[in-house]
Amino acid sequence: MKRLITLVISFCLLAIFAIPAAAQQFEYAANQERSFMSADEFYQQLKNGEYKEFADATYSVRQKISYKKVPDALMVFEKKTGRYFGQSKQKLSPFVHPKRQVYFFASFVQTKNEEYWKYAVIDAETKRQLQSGSAYKSYK
């Protein structure tokens, strides 16, 4: 009986670790071979409620990149806007293939008394927002 249990456990562990990462099922599969409009063209077609840069933005970013580059793009944006505090990079969603094409938009505005910061990652194929973030800081 112990041998049978050991054999079943061994088989299960082997099955779990033998599945290659390429066989993983993603909700958003790779689409790097497809062609999509530029980030500027896509931004112009966005509806008001989806994402808009700040009207008097001090710094804004519009990029079409692969999903695996989102943490780096966000880190560069944070560094350029003074929000980077040496934290680790943002984790990628396990449901989106790293080679999936996405649009990365970010905007920052700073006034005498406050600053606003926001970003959005939108899937290039489905046009759905995959992630976003925003922050506000008052100097008063």
The pLDDT tens digits for 58-94 are 999 999 999 999 999 999 999 999 887 777 677 888 9
Residues constituting the chain: 140
* Nearest one of 18, 39, 40, 21 to 30, comparing CA atoms: 21
pLDDT value for 71: 94
pLDDT greater at residue 131 or residue 12: 131
Rg over CA atoms, the chain: 21
Phi, psi (rounded to 5 degrees) for 51: -170, 130
| Share of residues in the chain with pLDDT > 90 (%) | 68
